[in-house]
Amino acid sequence: DAGVTQSPTHLIKTRGQQVTLRCSPKSGHDTVSWYQQALGQGPQFIFQYYEEEERQRGNFPDRFSGHQFPNYSSELNVNALLLGDSALYLCASSWTGRAQFFGPGTRLTVL
Amino acid sequence: AQKITQTQPGMFVQEKEAVTLDCTYDTSDPSYGLFWYKQPSSGEMIFLIYQGSYDQQNATEGRYSLNFQKARKSANLVISASQLGDSAMYFCAMREGENAGNMLTFGGGTRLMVKP
């Protein structure tokens, strides 16, 4: 049973560029959430997708957007990258079970 | 106000001994869930244990147990018989409401170091 997968593993971008991160949920899961984890901090919730719609959103600007596809996979897009967007981006999936299961993350570096 | 507070930035424990990692939370929602995740240096968040607000008994999963004191709003993680592989960051998190996909709010984490 494949767990949550994310791609790419690492990414280096420059300020002002745009980036797309991808996530495939655990088999049987229909809800995907994205989190940003800055160095030395706990993860911060960005948004959640269910039935191809954004259902919840954390305190992140509109530069952060997402999408969920019919197969439940999801993308996170960040426009006009800032140095402060450098972080580990974690995707988590869930169903009606109790826990959210996380992927290995994408480490984004903005230069 | 912080919703999840972990007051121990770092802790040492001797191999084979037990250790308790502290977590306090704040919510007015009667329905909530409390989670502990382990994050090794590789970065992946590994789910360890869950406690629901209506659960009568403390949760246990192998060497992990959750000391849930609802009136004190604490949800401490107890790791028994520590192993070298337990060295990692540990995060306490809370979900408000019953939907499994609801956002998780994380604490700042505790770095556990197991000494041989």
Give A69-89 pLDDT, tens digit per residue. Answer: 999 999 999 999 999 999 999
Examine the pLDDT at A2 and tell me if it is beyond 80: no
In chain A, which residues touch B (CB < 8 A)? 31, 33, 35, 41-45, 48, 50, 55-56, 58, 88, 90, 92, 94-105, 107
- B109 CB neighbours in chain A (<8 A) are 41-42
Predicted local distance difference test score (pLDDT) of residue A97: 66
Q: Sorting pLDDT into bands at 50, 70 and 90, what band is A12?
A: very high
Residues of B in contact with A45 (CB under 8 A): 103-105
Three-state helix/strand/coil letters over chain B: CCCEECCCCEEEEECCCCEEECCEECCCCCCEEEEEEEECCCCCCEEEEEEECCCCCCCEECCEEEEEECCCCEEEEEECCCCHHHCEEEEEEEEECCCCCCCEEECCCEEEEEEC
Q: What pLDDT score was predicted for residue B18? A: 98
Distance from CA of B105 to the nearest CA of A (A): 7
Number of A–B residue contacts, CB under 8 Å: 67
Grade residue A95 by pLDDT with cuts at 50, 70 and 90: confident
Question: Are A42 and B107 inside 8 Å of each other by CB?
Answer: yes
Q: Which residue of A has its CA nearest to B49?
A: A99
CB atoms within 10 A of CB B69: 11
pLDDT of residue B99: 76
pLDDT digits (tens, 9 = 90+) for B15-68: 999 999 999 999 999 999 999 999 999 899 999 999 999 999 999 999 999 999
Strand A53-57 and strand A31-37: pairing? unpaired
Does residue A58 sit in helix, strand or coil?
Answer: coil
pLDDT at residue A90 greater than cutoff 70: yes
Cβ separation B91–A104 shorter than 8 A: no
Residue in chain B nearest A103 by alpha carbon? B44
Question: Please, which pLDDT band fits residue B102 given cuts at 50, 70 and 90?
Answer: confident
CA-based radius of gyration for chain B: 14
Judge: B106–A94 Cβ closer than 8 Å, yes or no.
no
